[in-house]
Amino acid sequence: MVLYFFYDFLLFDFPIFVNMEEQVVLVDEKDNPLGLMPKMEAHEKAVLHRAFSVFIFNKKGELMLQQRAASKYHSPLLWTNTCCSHQRDGETNLEAGKRRLKEEMGFVTEVKELFSFIYKAPFDNGLTEHELDHVMIGYHNDPPNINKEEVENYKWMTLLDVKNDIKKNPKKYTEWFKIIFKKSFKKIKNA
């Protein structure tokens, strides 16, 4: 009898560790939530899901760009907007943008949403980004404290310099960043 209780005690006293992959919010074309899916599965199946891109400007009107870390599973070492990611279940777009700024760039600032758009971009590794991307802007003047697991480097550039460099060196930039610039340069510039 003692052994039975001891055995029973062991079964329920040890913690169970489950590796929970990050979930993305699946949406329709009007941004209505349809459910959750593991992030990698959504990218493997090219399922439309919610995402965001944050653009941070300084008082000179320059955009803070980040170079994605070499360890990223897609678009490593490419230049892109200040930060981007996926909203968590129940998280607003603005909450998500501020959270990810802190996680990637090491600072917090207020952001506001400008617009959203849908894009689909396949990658060489078999994954596809199919996102309803919410574009946000904010302002910050100090150097970031970058998270080296997420970001390789950063730099400030004027929007015109970014636009010209994308034309000259398109392979240096992420697909979503190029799409945002092509479709919405004036919206960002006039924000």
Positions marked catalytic: 84, 131
User: What are the tokens at 58?
Assistant: 């300084």
Measured between alpha carbons, how far is 101 from 132 in angstroms, rounded to an integer?
19
Contact between 118 and 29 under an 8 Å Cβ cutoff? The reply is yes
Distant-in-sequence, close-in-space partners of 79: CB < 8 Å, separation ≥ 6: 65, 66, 67, 68, 172, 173, 174, 177
Half-sphere exposure of 10 (CA within 13 A, CB side): 5
Measured between alpha carbons, how far is 180 from 128 in angstroms, rounded to an integer?
17
Measured between alpha carbons, how far is 172 from 6 in angstroms, rounded to an integer?
61
Reduced DSSP (H G I as helix, E B as strand, rest coil) percent helix, strand, coil of the chain, to 5: 30, 35, 35
Measured between alpha carbons, how far is 4 from 83 in angstroms, rounded to an integer?
54
